[in-house]
C-alpha cells in the first residue's frame, strides 16, 4: 500500500509550482483531484510548447502524472455545492493562486470547516495571503530577483543571473507539500484542520540559508566568484581540464591535504594549511590549480581524485546527466512514449504509481458518482447547467 494511499487532495492549480507540490503527494500514492477551469481550457501548461499536441504537452505531463482531472467552473452558482461535496470526502484543499484568491473563491479553512472540520487548506502564492502584495502575481524569475538570488549567481563581472531551472517554483512546491503533510498529521491527531499560507518569496528568502544569516547578523555580502566557486571555502568549484570541466570539492581540511597529494603538490598543503589561508590567498592559489587540472582530461582527473578520496564530479550536459538518472516511461495516446526522471521519494515496501497525466475533465463523472454519491442523472443536469463548462464537451476536453 502506498504511504499516502488514504489521502485525498483537491487541487486548484496550474503551471509549475503548485502542480509540482501535489505531484510529490501523488507520487507517494495520494489521490490528487485536479480542478480545471473550463473557461480557460484548464491548466495553461497543457499548451506549453515545444512538445505539444492539442491539450497534451510534455510540460504538462512532467507536473501532472498520477492525478485525476475534474472540470468545474467555480464561478458558476451551482458549482459551490459540487465543490463542497468534494471537500466533504477529502483531506486537503490545495491551491496555487494569487494570494487574495483563496478567500475570494471560498478556499480557506474558515470558509470550509463547516463542511469538513478536519480539512487542511493550503495556499501557495507569490507573496502570501496577507499584506500589501497579496493581490500581486508572482513568478519564479521575479522571486530570484527580489530575494537576492540573482545578485549571488554568476561571475564577478556578469549581469544579475537566474538559476538555470526554476528553483523557487520547485522549492515552493516541496515546501507546500511538507506543510500539507504537517497539517494532515495534526488534523488526524487533534481533529481540527488549518490554513497553510506558503509563499514563493518566503521560500526563496528562507533558502538564502547561511548567506541570509551572515547578512542579517553581520551585514556580510558574499562576493560573486568566478568558476562557480563557493563564497568562502576554497577549493570548492569548477576547474577546466584538457577536454572539459570538473567539480572539485574540499569542504573538509582532510580533502585539501588529499587533493595536494593527488596532484603531486604536497607543498601546497603546508603553504595554505587552513580554510582562512586559502580563502584569503585564493587569487594566487587558483591559477596554480587551474594549470594543474588543464594538464589532463576530465576522466583522468576524476579517476585520480576518486582514488585519493577527494570529492569530485563531471560537469555534465543534459544528455550525460540523464545517464545517471532512473528513467520511467509510459505510453500516451497523443504524445506516444513519454520518458521522465523518476521521483526521488523512494520508500521501501511499495512501488510508486505511474499513470499518464489526465485528459482535461476526464474523471469528472466518475469522481462525482463514486466519491460524492451522485446519480448519473444528476451529473447530466449539472452538465446541462454549465457547471462543467458552457461548451459541449468542455468537461471532456
Half-sphere exposure of 61 (CA within 13 A, CB side): 26
Nearest Cα residue to 31 out of 363, 257, 342: 363
Region of 69 (left: φ > 0; alpha: ψ -120 to 50; beta: rest) is beta
- Following DSSP, what letter does each residue of 287-318 receive, concatenated? HHHHHHHTTS-HHHHHHHHHHHT--EEE---H
| CB-neighbour burial class of residue 283 (10 A; exposed 0-12, middle 13-18, buried 19+) | exposed
Q: What does the alpha-carbon distance between residue 325 and residue 300 come to, in Å, rounded to a whole number? A: 23
Q: What does the alpha-carbon distance between residue 186 and residue 188 come to, in Å, rounded to a whole number? A: 5
Q: CA triplet 10, 12, 17: central angle to 5 degrees? A: 110
Query: Is residue 230 among the annotated active site residues?
Result: yes
Q: CA triplet 368, 374, 375: central angle to 5 degrees? A: 125
What 101-107 contacts at long range (C-beta under 8 Å, 24+ apart), as own/partner pairs, is: 101/125, 102/129, 103/129, 105/12, 105/74, 106/80, 107/12
Q: Is the dihedral of CA 92, 93, 96, 100 positive or negative?
A: negative
Annotated catalytic residue within 76, 114, 206, 230? 230
Q: What does the alpha-carbon distance between residue 25 and residue 352 come to, in Å, rounded to a whole number? A: 11
Nearest Cα residue to 126 out of 150, 95, 153, 104: 95
CB 247, CB 195: distance < 8 Å: no
The pair phi, psi for residue 276, each rounded to 5°, is -65, -40
CB 72, CB 101: distance < 8 Å: no
Give the catalytic positions in this structure: 230
Amino acid at each position: 500500500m502506498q504511504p499516502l494511499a488514504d489521502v485525498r487532495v483537491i487541487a486548484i492549480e496550474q503551471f509549475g509550482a503548485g502542480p509540482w507540490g501535489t505531484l510529490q503527494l501523488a507520487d507517494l500514492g495520494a489521490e490528487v483531484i485536479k480542478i480545471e477551469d473550463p473557461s480557460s481550457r484548464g491548466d495553461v501548461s497543457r499548451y506549453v510548447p515545444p512538445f505539444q499536441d492539442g491539450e497534451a504537452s510534455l510540460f504538462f505531463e512532467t507536473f501532472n502524472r498520477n492525478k485525476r482531472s475534474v472540470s468545474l467552473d467555480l464561478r458558476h452558482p451551482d458549482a459551490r455545492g459540487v465543490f463542497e461535496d468534494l471537500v466533504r470526502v477529502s483531506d486537503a484543499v490545495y491551491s496555487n493562486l494569487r494570494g487574495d484568491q483563496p478567500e475570494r473563491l471560498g478556499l480557506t479553512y474558515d470558509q470550509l470547516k463547516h463542511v469538513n472540520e478536519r480539512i487542511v487548506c493550503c495556499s501557495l502564492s507569490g507573496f502570501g495571503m496577507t499584506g500589501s502584495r497579496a493581490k500581486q502575481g508572482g513568478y519564479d524569475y521575479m522571486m530570484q530577483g527580489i530575494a537576492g538570488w540573482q545578485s549571488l549567481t554568476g561571475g564577478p563581472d556578469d549581469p544579475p543571473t537566474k538559476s538555470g531551472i526554476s528553483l523557487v517554483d520547485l522549492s515552493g512546491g516541496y515546501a507546500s507539500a511538507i506543510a500539507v503533510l504537517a497539517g494532515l498529521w495534526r488534523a488526524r491527531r487533534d481533529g481540527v484542520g488549518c490554513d497553510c499560507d506558503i509563499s514563493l518569496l518566503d521560500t526563496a528568502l528562507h533558502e538564502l540559508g547561511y548567506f541570509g544569516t551572515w547578512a542579517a547578523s553581520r551585514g556580510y555580502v558574499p562576493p560573486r566568484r568566478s568558476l562557480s566557486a563557493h563564497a568562502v571555502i576554497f577549493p570548492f568549484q569548477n576547474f577546466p581540464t584538457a577536454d572539459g570541466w570538473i567539480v572539485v570539492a574540499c569542504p573538509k581540511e582532510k580533502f585539501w591535504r588529499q587533493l595536494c597529494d593527488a596532484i603531486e603538490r604536497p607543498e601546497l598543503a603546508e603553504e595554505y594549511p587552513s580554510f582562512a589561508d586559502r580563502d584569503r590567498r585564493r587569487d594566487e592559489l587558483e591559477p596554480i590549480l587551474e594549470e594543474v587540472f588543464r594538464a589532463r582530461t576530465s576522466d583522468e582527473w576524476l579517476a585520480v581524485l576518486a582514488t585519493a578520496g577527494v570529492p569530485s564530479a563531471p560537469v555534465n550536459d543534459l544528455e550525460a546527466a540523464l545517464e545517471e538518472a532512473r528513467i520511467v516511461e509510459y505510453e500516451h495516446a497523443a504524445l506516444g512514449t513519454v520518458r521522465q526522471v523518476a521521483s526521488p521519494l523512494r520508500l521501501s515496501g511499495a512501488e510508486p504509481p505511474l499513470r499518464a497525466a489526465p485528459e482535461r475533465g476526464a474523471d469528472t463523472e466518475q469522481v462525482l458518482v463514486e466519491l460524492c454519491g451522485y446519480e448519473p442523472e444528476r451529473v447530466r443536469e449539472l452538465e446541462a447547467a454549465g457547471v462543467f463548462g458552457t461548451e459541449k464537451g468542455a468537461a471532456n476536453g
